[in-house]
Structure 1
Amino acid sequence: MDKPDQIPPLSIDEISILFFNRQNPVYIDVYDQQTYRYFIYPIINRTVFFGCLIITLLRPLSHLERITIEQGSSTLALELAKQHTLTEVYYQKTHEYFTELLEYRESELILTKGKELGLNMNSIMFVTLFKISSYQDLQVLEAIIHRLVSIIKQQMARTEKIVYGFHNKVTLLISLSSSDSDHISSITKLLDSIIKEWNRKDGPPLNAGIGNSYYGVENIRKSYDEAGKALSYLTEQNRPGMIRYGEIGLNRFFLNQKSEEIERFLNEIFSPLWSHKAKKNELEKTLLVYTDSNRSAIQAAEKLHIHINTLYQRLKKIEEALNLSFNNTEDMLKIELACHLKRTFNA
């Protein structure tokens, strides 16, 4: 072997996948102009995978060498478990401090602590909440949260912030030197890229809600509440990804509405349009396309690939079935709202 000390071409994610359902060591062969053999020994504490030892093999391992590797792995696992516990203590203390910020009362101690943690306390601030939606083992969840916090810290090393994990969520508070929209946009794009990369690599589904930015410590609670509502909206939609509170728009008024009530309202509007032969027939589709086309008959007919006279006939049937009029402002508001909820809440 020409380069027995070279780093094997295995990413962290590839190693994680390798030991996703495995706790035993493995041999792998990697071909790079010539074949290199590696012995990979996992470092595991109970069910939590911390990492692994990677040994480049020039010859078969002896029995004594195997024992040495096993003992070294056990020692590392204990040390990493200690570090894991210290991190949990740090998260708990940071969570307690963040709670104090949310219940802000003018205190020099709070301001001093914030500066020690790396925040500019007299600046524009906003909160982002990350949530791991699906998990089974609490110890594995802790390791996942630690990894997510580590990625955020690494990717946002130059940003003034505090970030910590608590149960299945990660809280990120960012302080900005200015309210420049380009600066906020660049940070938002970075957060979006972190989430997309996480979900692309088949990690547990990750959602994130971002609150609006406000000046001063006293407004952190407002941004935090908005981030929570944005996160709830994604959870209701049952989809991974990120959304800013401002992007929710009209739907913010329905975040606390029970899904059963929304579905009942939609049934009241759309069920008269369903034929006996087929649920959700052409009349429902016509209504959705018509409202989506800003009530332009020409555009709606083109999208539906029908003659405009056919469209007018369908619209007349819809008015009769719903006992409503497209010329009545109140009726139209009800129809527009129903179509909007149909498209966005997937009820």
Structure 2
Amino acid sequence: MLLFPKLAGKIVNEVQMVIKEDIIVVDTKGLIIASTQQNRVGTLHKGAQLVLHTKKKLYIDEFLEKQLEGVRMGINLPILIDGRIIGVIGITGNPVEVEHYADLIRRLTELIIQETVHAEQVESKTRGLESYFYEWVNVKSVDQQFIDRGLMLGIQMQEPHLCCFIQLKNMKQKNEDGQFIEREIFEWFQNYFQMDDVVRFGPGRFLLLKSVDRHYSDGYFRSQLGEVKKYVEMKYHTSLSIGVGKTVGTYLIAQSYKEAQKAMKVAGKSESIVFYEELLLDIMIEEVPIELRKEYLEKTIGKVKNNQELMDTLKIYLANNQSVKGTAAEMHIHINTLHYRLKQMKELTEIDPKKTEGIALFYLALKLMDRL
């Protein structure tokens, strides 16, 4: 691997927190690419060139300081990754004084590099998975090449799966704090759903591909999602909405994906967990264009929608299954008052809330209002 200036700068910053001496990082050409002294960046370091050649530690005393171009008294050490030298780190100072922590600094440097490489590899695999999933949820057929690509990413396409969307609220703004929280939650999801695949699918949104093997339990999965929602909302103080598809897919998951999308749309309204299989009226409503919704509302409750008293009465009346006694008790009004309000509803809308047809029309209207 190559030692780039950005990574070298990170090494200098990290090491500088441990020691006060000046530090340089040199690439495989002998050029200083990072230093606590900016004027040294870009200059050739003859001492580092010797280290690159010998792969051994170099003590630079007063004599060598005068003999070698661009060097200062101190110690130069090879940076080794998997036995291969990828650069040199230099610590300025009296070699006798800095020697006792020189190897520690080198080890710290190598750990920083290994950690960075690992993080880049993980990020690379994550991007690969995201790209693959974006393709997979839209394809209508798969060939062997596509299947093999999935296997390389660790995806067992032949296994049955369900699609599940998880959406964090207020994650549209991609500021630094939001990105950190989203990344931390994503990593927690990956650990929690170890046997499944989780990918980021837009701002604050994740797609979970839930394995539905012989050990799968619908009840257990529901309890898992409940725990996930509770944990995230308590720790990060943000609401969580979850939509789960119905169709179990093996090589093709487009249907389950579309179902999860629709369930997610409904879940987002109430910030809850919604399974597609439980949706009836909600699915139909989501398919109705906005203009048609508005037209329907205007023809049903258009003349009373701004009358808070009548609207509250209608909502409570329907919530109590049209029980006059129950509605009057909840609203703390006389039964005659309730009858008068229901009569007003009929006169103003020409729809009778006491008849089956009227109940259905008003119930659908209230559902449409919630969506708007």
**Smaller-chain TM-score range?**
0.5 to 0.7
Counterpart of 1:153 in structure 2: which amino acid? Q
TM-score (normalised: structure 2) = 0.60
- Candidates 205, 208, 228, aligned match of 1:172: 208
Q: Summarize the Cα distance change of 1:228–1:329 in structure 2 as closer, same or farther, 3 Å threshold.
A: same
Alignment correspondent of 1:185: 219
SS in 1 for 2:236: coil
Alignment correspondent of 2:362: 335
Q: Distance in 2 between matches of 1:134 and 1:100?
A: 24
1:1-347 to 2 correspondences below 5 Å: 80-102=115-137, 103-114=139-150, 117-132=153-168, 133-137=170-174, 141-157=178-194, 159=195, 161-168=196-203, 169-178=205-214, 183-202=217-236, 205-218=239-252, 220-235=253-268, 237=269, 240-257=271-288, 262=293, 265-266=296-297, 269-273=300-304, 280-326=307-353, 329-342=356-369, 344-345=370-371, 347=372
Counterpart of 2:260 in structure 1: which amino acid? A
Q: Summarize the Cα distance change of 1:137–1:294 in structure 2 as closer, same or farther, 3 Å threshold.
A: closer
Segments of 5+ residues of structure 1 without an aligned counterpart are 1-24, 26-63
Larger RCO: 1 or 2 (CA < 8 Å, sep 6+): 1
Q: Summarize the Cα distance change of 1:148–1:184 in structure 2 as closer, same or farther, 3 Å threshold.
A: same
Q: Summarize the Cα distance change of 1:83–1:146 in structure 2 as closer, same or farther, 3 Å threshold.
A: farther
What displacement does 1:323 show? 1.7
**Are the equivalent residues in 2 in contact too, given 1:283–1:318 (CA < 8 A)?**
yes
**Are the equivalent residues in 2 in contact too, given 1:119–1:175 (CA < 8 A)?**
no
Alignment correspondent of 1:22: none
Q: Distance in 2 between matches of 1:240 and 1:75?
A: 46
How well do the aligned residues superpose, as a CA RMSD in angstroms?
Answer: 3.9
The structure number with the bigger radius of gyration is 2
CA offset digits 1:278-337 (Å, max 9, x no partner) = x54432222112222222223323322333333222211211121222466544432121
TM-score (normalised: structure 1) = 0.63
Identity %: 22
Counterpart of 1:134 in structure 2: which amino acid? M
Segments of 5+ residues of structure 2 without an aligned counterpart are 1-16, 18-97, 99-103
CA offset digits 1:35-76 (Å, max 9, x no partner) = xxxxxxxxxxxxxxxxxxxxxxxxxxxxx9xxxx99999987
The range that moved more, 194-203 or 299-308, is 299-308
